Amino acid sequence: MSPAANAMMKAWVMKAVGRDLEYAELPMTPPAAGEAIVEVAGCGLCHTDLSFLDHGVKTRAELPLVLGHEIAGIVREAGDGVDSSLLDRPVIVPAVLSCGECEVCREDQRRICAAQIMPGNDRHGGFASHVTVPARYLCPVDDALLETHELWQLSIVSDAVTTPFQAIKRSKLRKGDLAVFIGAGGIGIHGVQIAAAAGAAVVALDVDPAKLEIARAAGASAVIDVRDKPFKEIRKQVAAECKQAGARRTQWKIYETSGTKSGQETAFGLINHGARVAIVGFTMDRLEIRLSNLMAFDATVTGNWGCDPALYPEVLSWVADGRIKLAPYVERFPLAEINRVIDSARRHKLEKRAVLTP
């Protein structure tokens, strides 16, 4: 008999928009073919979770639902067809799990797989003691990495680290480029350190001086406090920092990681010849832009949905050799305190990425 049969998992459940999560004990079922049950070591709190809770973004699965998609844990049970070597292995659960079988997956376009599964959106997620997920793209964690990192810390690799990593990789960032990050907190701080490690001159923009100082310590060559600053002055200052750093004066790489209307407007306004803009943050707000600038400057704008699971091992190698640091940017909280932590996130009182541990 499956260990999951007749077992219960402890979880915090979203039952309605704008309400606190509720504690529940939910029945576990044996994993289906191709699935695995992961005992959660930690699950990061993401802006997307707040979007579901507060901002009118609907989950694809019906409520009630367990949120949480930044998950690390240990595989405790596997269904038919799953590699048995995964059992009892520490793993990172990709935030977006593609099917691996369809046409776009076979073309290495896994990000747009129509059958993809996102924990905490398509099915129960990681704010629980256990989560059941497709096993195909679970990313094993080497024992050597766990000598320098705790497994709960690695949960943020699932989104906060891999998502900007993919955006940077797709933008073809080169040594000597100017990389502009609009929003230096959350996923932005990891983008800053990844771009700096890749040899770019990094300029971080934010409205919070404390976040800007953290970005400077993470590798930004310059920081700009944009609160109440006219856009023309912002652009002029970015150009001055580009010149000061000796970076390329064209082909700026601009990463919108704030998930705000003003941030997206700034990103489009900074377009120059050959620029590449990556929209990494999310907002429900609409904005008015002049698309003809893309034509006039021969520029490119891309969206960035999660990260291809195929990139996760490369990201872990960067973590292992210190190019990507996690410990300074994460803080651990008991899962039982999740509603208090969410309230702190709403009031912008969290200085680091919160990881909830059962």
What ranges make up the beta strands (E) of 128-171?
Answer: 130-134, 139-140
Binning pLDDT at 50, 70 and 90, where does residue 56 land?
A: confident
Query: Whole-angstrom distance between the N-terminal and C-terminal Cα of the chain?
Result: 26
Tokens linked to 7: 């077992």
> What's the pTM value of the predicted model, to 2 decimals?
0.95
From CA 278, how far away is CA 285, in angstroms rounded? 17
Tell me which residue of 144, 162, 185 sits closest to 92, measured CA to CA: 162
Average pLDDT over all residues of the chain: 96
* Domains, the chain, ordered by start: 8-159+307-357 (3.90.180.10), 162-303 (3.40.50.720)
Tokens matching residue 150:
């705790």
pLDDT digit string (tens) for 86-140?
999 999 999 999 999 999 999 999 999 999 999 999 999 999 999 999 999 999 9
Contact indicator for 97, 118 with CB cutoff of 8 Å: yes
Q: Are strands 65-66 and 8-14 parallel, antiparallel or unpaired?
A: antiparallel
